[in-house]
Structure 1
Amino acid sequence: MKKRLGLVYGGKSAEHEVSLSTARAVTQALDLNKYEVLPIYITMQGEWLKGQPLEGPVAEIETLRLTKEGDSQPDHIEGFLQGAMPDVILPLLHGTNGEDGTVQGLFEVLNIPYAGNGVLSSSAGMDKVVMKQLFAQAGLAQVNYIHFIRIAWQENAEALLEQAEQQLSYPMFVKPANLGSSVGISKADNRQTLRQAIDLALKFDRKIIVEQGIKAREIEMAVLGNDHPAVSVAGEIRPVAEFYDYEAKYQDQSTELSIPAVIPDEAARHMKDMAIRAFKVLDCAGLVRADFFVTEDDEVLINEVNTLPGFTPTSMFPLLWQKSGLSYPDLIDQLIELAFERHAEKQKLQYTMD
């Protein structure tokens, strides 16, 4: 019997278009002999719309918000919740209002199995400041940084600039604390560009992080599993641009990926250990991409983890598993099975004192 799979994509996020790209790719890979696929589109305004079950791969995923001919408008989430529930949800939401634990909380309340990370790991992994604080507690080496919120910048901009220059040195990287896909990230080489970078980042989030820039290689590993996670081979990012920004990731197609990365065995072992420790300290499930810096003397520093990494066939996470022997369709199947496994484990919990 086919499993009824809810495909949730779009979202009220600066990464809406990235989510659409992921959803399009997933529809190309799903085996419709295994799954009845129900597309669930979340608009940029946060409206939930349901399409008809897929009959085959699609090229334009956003058009699936339309229902069958003759309906005056697509079904809203209220209608979806009253209808036949999916057996499992595959969330393909990147960024805020989806990757940050909010939609995962909805699935938890509804008691529906869903692929990927839960509420805690999603929210902690989304907030770069919280994530780095947890990494520090776990003893994971990372670059120096400072952080602050918008109101602090509005009230004490000069003091914060001085703090950054006292605790860090140029170049610095300024990032919104709660966005992925390199949205809103800038490199600062002096006080003027630092001020501009902070102003930009604060357009996307009320909290930002300023990190020490270092000369290092950017290496990534993919983690897959629940209580016993496995780690892929390592891959290296070699952006042609000055750094790996949003345009380099999704638009100019000029970034070079080297898989497997050529790194010393000891550094690779260290990264694998750190990836698993990061996965466990955030209580992750399903999937994570762990990003590292490797310096010229082979020191390994963890940069961050992404709890819902880019997931098109040309994204780093699927490519790392492909080079590790797991195809894109099989990777999707495994994530769905891990969702059922994790949900079954939760059903063992007792909610009474008897």
Structure 2
Amino acid sequence: MSKKKKVAILYGGRSVEHGVSVNSARNIYEYIDKERFEPLTIGITKTGQWHLTNGVTKDIEQGKALGLILDAQHPGFMLLSSGDRMKADIIFPVLHGTDGEDGSIQGLIRAMDIPMVGTGVLGSSISMNKIVAKKLLKAAGLPVTRFLAYHYTEQAEISFKDVKKELGLPFMVKSASLGSSVGVSKVKNEADFDKAIAEAFRYDDSLLIEEFITGREIECAILGNNPPEASNPGEIVINKKYEFYTFDAKYVDPEAVRIDVPADLGKKSAEKIREVCVKAYQALHCEDFSRVDLFLTEDGSIYINEINTIPGFTNSSMYPMMWKERGVSFTDLISKLLDLAEERYDRSKRIEREFNSSLKF
């Protein structure tokens, strides 16, 4: 019998999405195939301390404090209390938002030279930043909404009158690099404007202002690399008491939404959405898995809203639901992601890291 692979599940993190990460990691820990994999649960506190925990818990500080071993020949983790070392065969970051989904952790893991589930440094950083992502998607000829972007230093130049003239009313104001609808506001009049700008800048140095699209909220799950595969699209049907898909609607209020998997779409429309989502995934250099969020208007127009490189794995998360509809269980999905990580890591070894030259040093 082959030896179990040790999988370090990273969760928590210094992010406003810390709690969502805990819930996602709890499911991955529960459903991971323990016949093939031995999970190590490593929590990162809201202030950035790393701890080995007994399962996945919100009380990360109660775990054993860890240090990181950044020796690429012998990477791993060290218990600070005893000096004992632990090695992981694969790392599965289940970190949503800042410092977890933006390339920061991905760069650290790459320096450790350990196989990692999910998109690498480049794809994570550009997908996380809504402004950069929209610019690249637009350059690739993919459909995005009209938008404006501002840095914190340009705050005095942001004019309600100018935005209204360019985008119309209502419009959306968003922090550039957050998820789960944190730092997002819908502006219907000038009275909403200053509060929305302050809320977005509260969480980020850059913000995005984009036209409001009246349409259906469609999501599509992407899995794999060569080539990636798209699930059947699903739909989020939001209760009319919500102006848009807010944080509470996503995670707090069980009556806020109805999830239809698959979405009630015609075959032609569904295929068009799947094709656009795969192209978006490739345009932003995503790897292993992502969830693409879109709007579908009454006239059949599609607009890509954003791409989540570490989509949620909570009980209400669309990503695992969409693959379950295709016959892929939660456990099989996790195994597939871990296998993809190892395959991609093995392929990366073909790249030379030394160059023999006549340079003397």
TM-score by length of 2: 0.91
Q: What letter corresponds to residue 221 of structure 2 in structure 1?
A: A
**Does 1:62 find its partner at 2:63?**
no
Q: C-alpha offsets along residues 303-329 of structure 1, whole Å, 9 cap, x if unaligned?
A: 111111111242000000001111111
Structure 1 residue 351 displacement after superposition: 1.7
Following the alignment from structure 2 to structure 1, what is the Cα–Cα distance between the partners of residues 28 and 193? Answer: 39
User: Aligned residue for 1:212?
Assistant: 211
Following the alignment from structure 1 to structure 2, what is the Cα–Cα distance between the partners of residues 106 and 131? Answer: 22
**Contact preservation (8 Å) 2:12, 2:95:** yes
Following the alignment from structure 2 to structure 1, what is the Cα–Cα distance between the partners of residues 281 and 199? Answer: 30
Following the alignment from structure 1 to structure 2, what is the Cα–Cα distance between the partners of residues 258 and 64? Answer: 35
**Contact preservation (8 Å) 2:49, 2:65:** no
**Does 1:76 find its partner at 2:75?**
no
- Residue 231 of structure 2 aligns to a residue in which SS? strand
Matches for 1:19-34 after TM superposition, within 5 Å:
19-34=21-36
Which among 16, 19, 32 is matched to residue 17 of structure 1? 19
User: Aligned residue for 2:102?
Assistant: 100
Following the alignment from structure 2 to structure 1, what is the Cα–Cα distance between the partners of residues 292 and 345? Answer: 24
**Contact preservation (8 Å) 1:49, 1:77:** no
Which among 336, 350, 353 is matched to residue 351 of structure 1? 353
- Residue 58 of structure 2 aligns to a residue in which SS? helix
Q: What letter corresponds to residue 320 of structure 1 in structure 2?
A: M
Q: What letter corresponds to residue 310 of structure 2 in structure 1?
A: L
**Contact preservation (8 Å) 2:44, 2:60:** no
Q: C-alpha offsets along residues 297-354 of structure 1, whole Å, 9 cap, x if unaligned?
A: 1111111111111112420000000011111111000000000011011111012235
**Contact preservation (8 Å) 1:145, 1:209:** yes
Following the alignment from structure 2 to structure 1, what is the Cα–Cα distance between the partners of residues 172 and 157? Answer: 20
Pair 75,302 (structure 1): closer, same or farther in 2 beyond 3 Å? closer
Following the alignment from structure 1 to structure 2, what is the Cα–Cα distance between the partners of residues 129 and 274? Answer: 19
Following the alignment from structure 2 to structure 1, what is the Cα–Cα distance between the partners of residues 157 and 222? Answer: 41
Following the alignment from structure 1 to structure 2, what is the Cα–Cα distance between the partners of residues 64 and 300? Answer: 41
Q: C-alpha offsets along residues 233-265 of structure 1, whole Å, 9 cap, x if unaligned?
A: 110111112211100000001211111111122
User: Aligned residue for 1:245?
Assistant: 246
Following the alignment from structure 2 to structure 1, what is the Cα–Cα distance between the partners of residues 58 and 16? Answer: 16
- Residue 274 of structure 1 aligns to a residue in which SS? helix
Following the alignment from structure 1 to structure 2, what is the Cα–Cα distance between the partners of residues 102 and 201? Answer: 21
TM-score by length of 1: 0.92
Following the alignment from structure 1 to structure 2, what is the Cα–Cα distance between the partners of residues 227 and 282? Answer: 15
**Contact preservation (8 Å) 1:101, 1:119:** yes
Structure 1 residue 23 displacement after superposition: 1.1
- Residue 118 of structure 2 aligns to a residue in which SS? coil
Q: What letter corresponds to residue 191 of structure 2 in structure 1?
A: Q
Greater mean alpha carbon deviation, residues 79-88 or residues 344-353: 79-88
Matches for 1:92-131 after TM superposition, within 5 Å:
92-131=94-133
Following the alignment from structure 2 to structure 1, what is the Cα–Cα distance between the partners of residues 29 and 57? Answer: 8
Matches for 1:191-340 after TM superposition, within 5 Å:
191-240=190-239, 241-254=242-255, 255-340=257-342
The alignment-based identity, stated in percent, is 37
Q: Which runs of 5+ in 1 are unaligned?
A: 53-57, 68-72
Following the alignment from structure 1 to structure 2, what is the Cα–Cα distance between the partners of residues 302 and 45? Answer: 33
* CA RMSD of superposed structures (Å): 1.6
Q: C-alpha offsets along residues 29-51 of structure 1, whole Å, 9 cap, x if unaligned?
A: 11222212111111000111123
User: Aligned residue for 1:6?
Assistant: 8
**Contact preservation (8 Å) 2:50, 2:65:** no
**Contact preservation (8 Å) 1:42, 1:49:** yes
- Residue 197 of structure 2 aligns to a residue in which SS? helix
User: Aligned residue for 2:73?
Assistant: none
Following the alignment from structure 1 to structure 2, what is the Cα–Cα distance between the partners of residues 200 and 273? Answer: 35
Structure 1 residue 64 displacement after superposition: 5.8
**Does 1:138 find its partner at 2:140?**
yes
Q: What letter corresponds to residue 57 of structure 2 in structure 1?
A: I
- Residue 61 of structure 1 aligns to a residue in which SS? coil
User: Aligned residue for 1:70?
Assistant: none
**Contact preservation (8 Å) 2:12, 2:46:** yes
Following the alignment from structure 1 to structure 2, what is the Cα–Cα distance between the partners of residues 288 and 21? Answer: 18
Q: What letter corresponds to residue 189 of structure 2 in structure 1?
A: N
Q: Which runs of 5+ in 2 are unaligned?
A: 70-75, 79-83, 357-361
Q: C-alpha offsets along residues 143-191 of structure 1, whole Å, 9 cap, x if unaligned?
A: 11111011211x324xx32321121111111111100011111111011
Structure 1 residue 65 displacement after superposition: 5.3
Q: C-alpha offsets along residues 108-157 of structure 1, whole Å, 9 cap, x if unaligned?
A: 1111001011000000010000000000010001111111011211x324
